[in-house]
Homo-oligomer: A and B are copies of this chain.
Amino acid sequence: MKPYVKVVEVGPRDGLQNEKQLVPAATKIELIQRLADAGLPVVEATSFVSPKWVPQMADADEVLAGIRRKAGVSYPVLVPNVQGLERAFAAGVEEIAVFTAASSAFTQKNINATVEESLARLAPVIEQALAKNVKVRAYVSTALGCPYQGDVPVSEVVRVTKALVDQGVYEISLGDTIGVGTPKKAREMLRACADAVGMDKLAAHFHDTRGQALANVLACLEEGVRVVDASVSGLGGCPYANGASGNLATEDLIYMLHGMGFETGVNLDALVDTAVWMSGQLDRLPASKLARVKR
């Protein structure tokens, strides 16, 4: 039997969140459904952040109400606080994602809190979610570097990761938010976190700002990670990174995984079709190499 890698599709949320051009809810719904139909086991659907902060996600309720949920597919929704959690409960969400970072310089600029304060704010969100049997995933940003403080000690990444797991989070997505990491550093960071909480609790979430994302993923796969985040057509990226190109493109990731003998459950042709279609909706070329070849 082939080893399995779970690919978490973050395009409809992490990707579109960083697109200035407002995308109609109907397009988002079609995107999410196409991704699930292509075989992605997890499709992050939207975010219950304040529309003042992220206008792109103002239609979260409409999107969630509109999608045909496919059996066996998880549709996590980003939730920043208890207000967001209430909206998630009302929408019948079965999984949420929360976010913080490994550097206070980043959380201060981003959510006006230290990492410690951020963890304290998340505690009731996580607790109340778990009390209603809603699964909780967490993003730890700046795991390989911070745009404001530069290097981030691995010990800080480990500390935040462990705190979240101790609170009941089932999966920690370790994010190279600004795409500065290289394979050796990615491997060492992942190993340190795995030593603290176990590899089965960890996901790799790398941005391709400097073209390193897939190489970093490879190093982490070799280290044992079996959950990887990616964004169809390379949608999105980090608004804090100057000239940032997007997330790792899901189709480039799947191509590598299949070539290496991993099972993902994803139909690559259907995924590439979706990448090309979505890029067309945004009136641009796909950001992934694979979709450009097949276009």
Binding site for B on A (CB under 8 A): 179, 181-185, 208-212, 214-215, 217-219, 222, 241-245, 249, 252, 255-256, 258-261, 288-290, 292-295
Contacts and interface: CB of A to CB of B under 8 A. Distances in A.
Contacts of A179: 289
30 contacts: A181-B259, A182-B255, A182-B256, A182-B260, A183-B218, A183-B260, A184-B261, A208-B289, A209-B289, A209-B293, A210-B293, A211-B249, A211-B255, A211-B288, A211-B289, A212-B214, A212-B252, A212-B255, A212-B259, A214-B215, A215-B215, A215-B218, A218-B219, A222-B222, A241-B293, A243-B293, A243-B294, A243-B295, A244-B293, A245-B293
A293 B208 CA distance: 11
Contacts of A212: 214, 252, 255-256, 259
Nearest to A246: B289
A256 B210 CA distance: 9
A171 to B, nearest CB: 23
Contacts of A249: 211
A209 B210 CA distance: 17
Given A182-B255, A218-B219, 11 more contacts: A182-B260, A208-B289, A209-B289, A211-B214, A211-B255, A211-B290, A212-B255, A212-B256, A215-B215, A215-B217, A243-B293
B185 A259 contact: yes
B184 A259 contact: yes
Given A218-B219, A260-B182, A210 B255 contact: yes
A261 B244 CA distance: 24
Nearest to A259: B182
Contacts of A185: 259
A181 to B, nearest CB: 7
